[in-house]
Amino acid sequence: MNKKTIEYLALVREKTGFSDYKISKEYDINQSNLSKYSSGKAALSETHAWLFANILDIDPAVVVANTKYEHAINTDNNSKAKFWQQQLNKIFSESEPIQIQIAQFNPIVGDIKSNAQKMLNLIQEAYDSGAHLIVFPELALTGYPPEDLLYREGFIEQVNEEIGYLCKSVPSNISVLFGAPQKTNDLLFNSAICIQHNLISHIYNKQELPNYGVFDEKRYFTAGNESLIFECQQTKIGVLICEDQWIDGPISRLCQSNIDIVISINASPFQSEKQQERLDICQKYAKHFDVTFIYVNMVGGQDEVVFDGSSFVVNQNGDVTLQLPEFEELCSMHSASIESYKPINKEASIYSALVLATRDYIRKNSFGGALIGLSGGIDSALTLAVAVDAIGSENVHAVMMPYEFTSNMSLEDSALQARNQGVEFSNIDIHSMVDSFNNSLNDLFGNAKVDSTEENIQARVRGTLLMALSNKHHKIVLATGNKSEMAVGYATLYGDMCGGFAPLKDISKTMVYKLSNYRNSISEVIPERVITRPPSAELAPNQEDQDTLPSYDVLDDILMRFVELKESVDKITEQGHSLEVVNKVTSMILRNEYKRRQSAPGPKISSNAFGRERRYPMTSKFQP
């Protein structure tokens, strides 16, 4: 609220207890001037404004700006009145406690212009809601990971063009912090850019570059070696980028400068139960360095990784004061509060990760929908549920392709699943096609014994039909295989492995059952007997998975120990498993690397997923 000279004079009288005569003498103010001040005929001079501010122990800039505004009004100088009102607004805004908008952001890799426009829209919304600073995740402008796009001629030029566009377009009174690659003297950095007053005010280069798991940052980036602290709203803010917070060095150096807030911008992929690790380390730092810690994470699916968001704020006592939800793109002011932090159900988290990863892969690659080969089994049933929850029943087409070994139960359950989910459902009898293949090959097979070759022909006919429908209707085929099958090669290459995306690729068979029960707890979309019946590929009479494989609880424990924990055969057998079974399973895993190399991508959920994270040679004589 604007104050006038007469009000300031009244405050001086009240604080000093002096009369106007005494004020005039004590502070060497001309009595004539004081009379004009007292009557409201004149505004304080700049010198007297500073004097009164010192007497009242308030910011001199406030008193000067108020009296300059008063003088402009008294002299009908509208342009100066507008100018001084703007200065007052700025002064008052800078005295408010800082408001930081957390943007849990879902970019598209390489769509730099659209990402920038989307960021600008969120910046404007943040400004309108009173934010002083908005923070986006690591490499928000390009999406993460851009991989070898970083080597493309013109890529960094596009990045710089859009940074310039943001500088020119953002409201001048809001600061913006976001991730983008930056090039200096032919060195490329993973950077945080800070825009203030429509200019790049600061650039921070990530110091710790991860080069494990799904990360290849040392392939592209040079490590920075300097901390960044900037001021916003009279608050000292330190910046980290993702891996920087997991190593003591960057934050220890940063907090030597007595900062108020640490902001960590991240592109941290989802991994089951990883959120607690993030909270633990940030709470430790917040308490140790007596700072507020703001963790801002990307959200969304990108090929084989899915980012869960789960951004949060931890105060100096280590308390979680704000927890943003998983797998949702949204913005929140950092000062918003929650009553308590409740750990999220493991199956609910994993299921949400699959839904988001599937939705984003289909949406970001501009497919018109999804095709699923329904078998009547639990894997395809769960895949169907994920697809419908991801993109809506109207965009999903389920296809049943029975042969002579397909049970009536499978036929009935497939039709029931499709009805439950409200999807388009087709039934294509493949007897004539399979018989035609077999007849054409009969002479070439000679008297060879019937084996898995004939079984695989069934699967490959189904794969061909699905891919034909995909071509015709521009819908992506979702492969339905799970991690247990992919591990031991219990799948048909160019058959049931056909597809552009495999939602269950990193989901063990035992977890498939848990996720199916979880999804049914929301609404029953998977028939109960699909969950309870013995699993079967139905490629031969009375066939069951356990004819070829150990029970899935045994198999999945061996897989977890060998693939994720990287334990030796001896160590696995020490856990009570049969040496014969362990040798059989580990041999199957290593022998089927060539199959996995040709499988569809799928979202990483575990600590060691097949695909870009687990890179084993196809040709190898290693004995575990």
- In angstroms, the Cα distances linking 150 to 27, 242, 432, 611 are 67, 19, 51, 21
Q: Tell me the sheet residues that pair with 190.
A: 181
Helix, strand, or coil (residue 616): coil
Please state, in angstroms and rounded to a whole number, the distance separating the CA atoms of residues 23 and 506. Answer: 80
Please state, in angstroms and rounded to a whole number, the distance separating the CA atoms of residues 238 and 264. Answer: 9
- In angstroms, the Cα distances linking 70 to 42, 307, 511 are 9, 54, 71
Q: Is 242 a catalytic residue?
A: yes
Q: Is 194 a catalytic residue?
A: no
CB-CB contact of 255 with 289 (8 Å): yes
What angle is formed at CA 151 by the lines to CA 150 and CA 157, rounded to 5 degrees? 65
Q: Is 404 a catalytic residue?
A: no
- Per the document, the length of the chain is 624
Exposed/middle/buried for 332, CB within 10 Å: 0-12, 13-18, 19+?
A: middle
- In angstroms, the Cα distances linking 491 to 324, 528, 592 are 39, 25, 10
Catalytic residue among 4, 68, 118, 206: 206
CB-CB contact of 501 with 362 (8 Å): yes
- In angstroms, the Cα distances linking 58 to 12, 63, 70 are 12, 8, 18
Please state, in angstroms and rounded to a whole number, the distance separating the CA atoms of residues 525 and 533. Answer: 16
Catalytic residue among 4, 194, 232, 242: 242
Q: Is the bond into 145 cis (omega within 30 degrees of 0)?
A: yes
Please state, in angstroms and rounded to a whole number, the distance separating the CA atoms of residues 194 and 156. Answer: 17
CB-CB contact of 429 with 418 (8 Å): no
Catalytic residue among 70, 138, 162, 485: 138
Both tokens of residue 245?
């917070």
Residue 507: which of 479, 546, 532 has the closest Cα?
479
Residues annotated catalytic, as ranges: 138, 206, 242
